[in-house]
Amino acid sequence: MAYVVTEKCIMCKHADCVEVCPVDCFYEGENMLVINPDECIDCGVCVPECPIDAIEAESEDNLKWLEVNREYSTKWPSITQNKPAMDEAEKYRDVPNKFAELFSENPGEGN
Ligand code: SF4
Ligand code: SF4
């Protein structure tokens, strides 16, 4: 079991979640963060930190996000410190289907 970041994070990246993770298993893309599900210890402390409820426990209903998190956590740099959300975060907060229309495969800066 693991926790996964869902598409709500895309274009928002509030990053409040990363500082509380005891095993530093968040990774940063250009416009989304992901969790490495093999490193996540299933503690759940990141969940209430996300202001837009973008983090969910792995389940039958979000296998797509499990695969996205697994794939890109091996391609993107680690992020362990909070940073300001993206400039467009409020505008994109409740936009649906962000993965299909907005997701970037490019890595973020990490820190
Ligand atoms: S706090 Fe939420 S929106 Fe911000 S990076 Fe973490 S998962 Fe994404
Ligand atoms: S559930 Fe715990 S170990 Fe997993 S990403 Fe969140 S804070 Fe890190």
User: How far is 76 from 74, CA to CA, in rounded Å?
Assistant: 6
Which structure tokens are listed for 77? Answer: 């740099």
Question: Domain range spanning residue 36?
Answer: 3-75
User: How far is 98 from 11, CA to CA, in rounded Å?
Assistant: 8
Count of structural domains, the chain: 1
Mean pLDDT, residues 31-41: 98
Ligand 2 pocket by Cβ (under 6 Å): 3, 20-21, 23, 25, 35, 40-46
* Cα 8 to averaged position of ligand 1 atoms, centre (Å): 8
Residues 55-102 have pLDDT tens digits of: 999 999 999 999 999 999 999 999 999 999 999 999 999 999 999 999
CATH of the domain at 51: 3.30.70.20
Residue whose CA lies nearest to ligand 2 atom number 4:
40
Atom of ligand 2 nearest to the CA of 42: 1
Within a domain: residue 95?
no
Within a domain: residue 80?
no
